[in-house]
Amino acid sequence: MFLLLQPLALLFLTVLFLYPLFRHAYGEPKDCQLPPGSFGWLPLIGKTMSFINPHLSCTMGQFLEENIKRYGKIFRSHLFGHRTVVSCDVDFNHFILQNEDRLFEASYPVNIPKVLGDFTMLVMTGDAHKRIRGVALGLFSSMKTHEAATISDIDNIVVRLMDSWKNKKTLVLCDETRKFTFNVIVKHILSLSPEDPETVLLLDNYKTFMKGFVSAPINLPGTPFVKAQREHETRSWIRCLRSILRRQAKFQITNIVGKIRDRRRRQRIAAGGPEVDGRKDFLDLLESHGGLTEDEIFGLVIDLLIGGYETTAMLIAIIVKFVGNDPEILSELRAEHAAARKKKAGDEPLKWQDYKDMRLTQCLINEALRLGNVVKFVHRKAIKPVRYKEFEIPAGWKVLPILSGVHLDGSLHNDPFRFDPRRWQNEEVESARNFMPFGGGKRLCPGSDLAWLDTCIFLHHLLPKYSWKTQEEDDWPMSFPFLDFKKGLKIAIQPLSDPCPSQEQATS
Ligand code: HEM
């Protein structure tokens, strides 16, 4: 017993003596009109544990609720080891995102560059970021230029996936939507099909890669965050979080991509021409760009794999959950997709514009993004002293614009916690200041169109083919703060015999 008490006493005394030093290092600067708030009393950890405490993603969570009530929508705190200004204020969030590189820059927690390397867009800043971002935007616009091929690829992937459900009675939907979005993104980047051995290998390595990028955890044993994560991981197929494994996984991923690139180079030389089969995927476009180093090419491939996979998979799962609970919307949606289908001859695929014209589907996606909050917040830091209204933010402080804070703000959205796709019927989303699921400014998500197209096409095939029922009523999207369903969203499915179901079938 004594042996056990000794180290505890030592720890207590160390903390006691070091505390004034920590207070000095993490204390509040004098003569500065800081936003109101408190750093908490724990050195380093501050209030991180309350901030990352898991909660329903369609709620603010206790931390934000309590702080907003006490201090207002802009307040100071101590998060992820830094003095931080947290903002749930729509105007300040826009101010932060619009002043990228002038007053603020991206500042993701250290484990992200450690794992991803220095060539990921999340880590790059200034001109380096601008240059790589330009390349990424070019890739996505090439996807739009080859619209028919893009849509046909996604159609094929979703048809095969849903065919594989034929003899199943239940599904863990998040596993299925992850398979779907992963197969779509590897098809776009590397022209790999779901059954290619390289796809399987990539996915295996990729699974080790996926948690904590948008919101890095502090891994202290026994904390609610780590407990929640552990529960979540033992159940799900994403088991491995340790950074060493992630680094190995990154190595494997770049290795696989490198082998594909070398194979293509050899094929090109043998064929004496620049293209293998006439159509270019993202890797071909990056290779032919000329001005990119090998590290930059691999960095971008990893960025697109990360961005294009989990986020969209979760968005689709949120929609399936919400719509499954709303027979009226489900029935109208089926009718909307059936009407679009009827306008086409035979198997002719729908076009980009056909999807854009589906008004209710657009409203539904917006509402799922608003209420589901796939990305809760983004990480920024003040690069010089910033004055905003009556507040001053010292240089070096972290700043967290909370996107969900704007989406769930009752002064911006009527009845903000209610799922109501129709609220978007008369809104011009592109100019809506109260809606920022893809961030904003110089880091506005470049993959938003792909996420939107994936979601539309998935729904277009799901709606006439299957009816579904969620099996666990309490399995809602959770903010860990990365988004996931606690139980992966188990659903019972039933094939619909009529490919264009009647209203009665649709609501059953
Ligand atoms: C529902 C789906 C998605 C959501 C909610 C989402 C959300 C976001 C947000 C909020 C950011 C801004 C991060 C910041 O400001 O620090 C972002 C950036 C980014 N996203 Fe997405 N995203 C989605 C889908 C995608 C897809 C499909 C891709 C690619 C295939 C993608 C690739 C990226 C990349 C590369 C960045 C970094 C941009 C930069 O730093 O300039 N995202 N995303």
Lowest-confidence range among 218-222, 343-347, 458-462?
A: 218-222
Number of domains in the chain: 1
Residues making up the binding site for heme = 445
d(CA 158, CA 454): 9
* Phi and psi at residue 370, to the nearest 5°: -70, -50
Q: In this structure, are residues 337 and 361 in contact, taking their beta carbons and an 8 Å threshold? A: yes
Closest by Cα among 420, 429, 461 to 323: 420
C-beta 447 within 6 A of ligand 1: yes
The confidence score (pLDDT) of residue 166 equals 93
The answer to whether position 374 is within a domain reads yes
454 CA to centre of ligand 1 in angstroms = 14
Closest by Cα among 189, 204, 194, 186 to 164: 194
- Amino acid present at 27: G
Q: Which alpha helices (H) appear in 393-432, and where do they start and end?
A: 403-407
Lowest-confidence range among 55-59, 61-65, 242-246, 321-325?
A: 242-246
Show the tokens assigned to 393. 């933010």
Whether residue 214 has pLDDT greater than 80: no
Closest by Cα among 279, 274, 300, 305 to 191: 279
Q: In this structure, are residues 393 and 399 in contact, taking their beta carbons and an 8 Å threshold? A: yes
Q: Collapsing DSSP states into helix, strand and coil, what is residue 136?
A: helix
Whose C-alpha lies nearest to ligand 1, atom 11? 445
Q: Greater confidence, 163 or 29?
A: 163
| pLDDT tens by residue, 306-352 | 887 889 999 999 999 999 999 999 999 999 999 999 998 888 899 99
d(CA 157, CA 117): 31
Residue with tokens 């290092």: 25
The answer to whether position 487 is within a domain reads yes
Lowest-confidence range among 6-20, 149-163, 240-254, 380-394?
A: 6-20
Q: Which residue segment(s) compose the domain that 105 sits in?
A: 30-507
The domain that holds 448 is classified in CATH as: 1.10.630.10
Whether residue 120 has pLDDT greater than 80: yes
The answer to whether position 10 is within a domain reads no
Q: Which atom of ligand 1 is nearest to the CA of 305?
A: 30
C-beta 383 within 6 A of ligand 1: no
C-beta 303 within 6 A of ligand 1: yes
For 296-299, which contacts have Cβ atoms below 8 Å and span 24 or more sequence positions? 296/119, 296/132, 297/261, 298/119, 298/254, 298/257, 298/258, 299/116, 299/117, 299/118, 299/119, 299/120, 299/121, 299/132
Q: Report percent pLDDT > 90 for the chain.
A: 56
Whose C-alpha lies nearest to ligand 1, atom 16? 378
Distance of CA 201 to the CA centre of its chain: 22
Residue 217 pLDDT grade (very low, low, confident, very high; cuts 50, 70, 90)? very low
The answer to whether position 23 is within a domain reads no
Closest by Cα among 99, 36, 89, 112 to 381: 99
Ligand 1 binding pocket mutation candidate from 130, 139, 311, 452 (most atoms within 8 A of CB): 311
Show the tokens assigned to 377. 């917040």
The answer to whether position 21 is within a domain reads no
d(CA 429, CA 73): 23
Q: In this structure, are residues 455 and 365 in contact, taking their beta carbons and an 8 Å threshold? A: yes
- Amino acid present at 305: L
312 CA to centre of ligand 1 in angstroms = 10
| pLDDT tens by residue, 77-101 | 999 889 999 999 999 999 999 999 9
The answer to whether position 378 is within a domain reads yes
Show the tokens assigned to 473. 């009523």
The answer to whether position 416 is within a domain reads yes
Strand partners, 75: 86
Ligand 1 binding pocket mutation candidate from 445, 458, 482 (most atoms within 8 A of CB): 445
Q: What is the DSSP string of 192-206?
A: --TTSHHHHHHHHHH
C-beta 375 within 6 A of ligand 1: yes
Residue with tokens 């489900």: 330
The confidence score (pLDDT) of residue 63 equals 97
The answer to whether position 49 is within a domain reads yes
Residue 10 pLDDT grade (very low, low, confident, very high; cuts 50, 70, 90)? low
